[in-house]
């Protein structure tokens, strides 16, 4: 009841969920070109997720295959009947993949298709816990993973986060009613989960873990010092926040226009002249202004163990390496998966620190 009253007051005053304001890219989020200038480790149109094995081997989910990246070459190690939507590696080296509405655990012949009394619908992220359980982000009860724009424009809040014990298949519901659960990580303060449509991380079963973010958070991956990398698959724009408040317009747009031309965030842009365009994004004298509003954007941020943003990597408006869905730190290198460009990008960790004005390493 109190939430309902708060929403009504917010809609009248333009506050809370009714606010059209978007956090600016400043401080630890100050723009740079590190993603755009990064080395391309692998290029393939159907890249989805990646994970590190205990020995440091990089595994990549691409289409229906799992690839091992060794010496710059991609070697298929596993193939499934359907497209892989998430990947993780357990502490014993076993691979776990999601095929949209079910999970396949290495060593088990039968996929897991339901938990907590409900069938899976849109598994977007998997993460291993210290006790051997698997964190599962089931983003929506209504839409599949590739229909994420429908869920956003429907103001969906049917996602859930579960912890699954792989041997007994006993599942614990950690959080429900999430606005697109798209990443999870066990940390010292609890279990973090990305709530994309609310633009923030939250602690499962508790409350918000971060302030409002300038993009849509996706997968979370740990670093050796207890911190983490957070990928943000697109940047936010005020026009999208405005459309979300205009119910009649939004419904008509969803009913009459192809989703790739909606006024909504995207994983890539700039390849079709029919895409929606704001005046601020029009080139003048051959130049795209630095403050041009994003339709797609490339962004990942490194946070410390206290969830404080320290530094970030960007592919700005007008770039190509957008739609960052997974970022990994391996030794002195950082790997980022651009789903929008179909690339795995490699960057030097020290170069990221220097560009972000950090000296003496990351705490």
Q: How confident is the model at residue 6 (pLDDT cuts 50, 70, 90)?
A: very low
What are the structure tokens assigned to 136, written together?
């599962």
pLDDT of 275 strictly over 60:
yes
**CA 244/CA 259 separation, integer angstroms:** 15
Q: What would the two tokens of residue 80 be?
A: 């499934």
Residue 266 CA to residue 340 CA, distance in Å, equals: 8
Say which DSSP state 327 is in.
E
Burial grade of 288 (CB within 10 A; 0-12, 13-18, 19 or more): middle
* Residue 324 to residue 329: CA distance in whole angstroms: 14
Round the average pLDDT of the chain to a whole number and report it: 92
Cα–chain-centroid distance for residue 192? 13
Residue 299's nearest CA partner among 14, 40, 31 is 31
Share of the chain above pLDDT 90, in %: 82
Distance in angstroms (rounded) separating the CA atoms of residues 224 and 108? 30
Query: Percent of the chain, pLDDT > 70?
Result: 94
**Residue 208 DSSP code:** B
The mean pLDDT value for 183-206 works out to 96
């Amino acid at each position: 009841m109190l939430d309902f009253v708060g929403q009504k007051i917010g809609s009248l005053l333009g506050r809370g969920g009714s606010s059209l304001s978007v956090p600016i890219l400043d401080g630890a989020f100050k723009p740079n070109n590190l993603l755009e200038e990064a080395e391309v480790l692998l290029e393939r149109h159907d890249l989805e997720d990646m994970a590190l094995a205990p020995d440091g081997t990089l595994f990549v989910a691409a289409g229906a295959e799992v690839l091992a990246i060794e010496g710059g070459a991609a070697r298929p190690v596993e193939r499934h009947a359907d497209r892989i939507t998430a990947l993780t590696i357990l502490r014993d080296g076993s691979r776990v993949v999601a095929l949209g509405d079910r999970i396949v655990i290495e060593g088990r012949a039968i996929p897991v298709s339901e938990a907590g009394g409900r069938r899976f619908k849109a598994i977007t992220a998997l993460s291993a816990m210290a006790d051997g359980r698997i964190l599962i982000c089931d983003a929506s009860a209504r839409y599949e993973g590739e229909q994420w724009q429908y869920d956003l424009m429907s103001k969906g809040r049917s996602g859930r986060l579960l912890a699954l014990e792989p041997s007994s298949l006993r599942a614990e519901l950690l959080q429900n009613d999430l606005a697109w659960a798209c990443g999870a990580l066990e940390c010292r303060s609890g279990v973090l989960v990305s709530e994309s449509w609310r633009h923030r991380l939250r602690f499962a079963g508790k409350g918000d873990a971060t302030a409002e973010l300038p993009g849509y958070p996706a997968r979370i991956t740990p670093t050796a010092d207890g911190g983490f990398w957070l990928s943000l698959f697109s940047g936010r724009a005020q026009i999208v926040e405005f459309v979300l408040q205009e119910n009649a317009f939004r419904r008509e747009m969803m009913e009459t226009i192809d989703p790739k031309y909606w006024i909504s965030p995207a994983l890539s842009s700039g390849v079709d002249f029919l895409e929606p365009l704001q005046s601020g994004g029009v080139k003048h004298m051959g130049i795209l202004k630095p403050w041009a509003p994003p339709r797609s954007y490339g962004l990942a941020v490194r946070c410390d163990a206290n969830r404080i943003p320290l530094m970030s990597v960007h592919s700005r408006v007008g770039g190509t390496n957008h739609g960052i869905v997974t970022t990994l730190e391996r030794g002195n290198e950082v790997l980022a998966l651009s789903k929008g460009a179909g690339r795995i990008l490699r960057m030097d960790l020290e170069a990221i620190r220097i560009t972000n004005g950090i000296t003496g390493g990351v705490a």
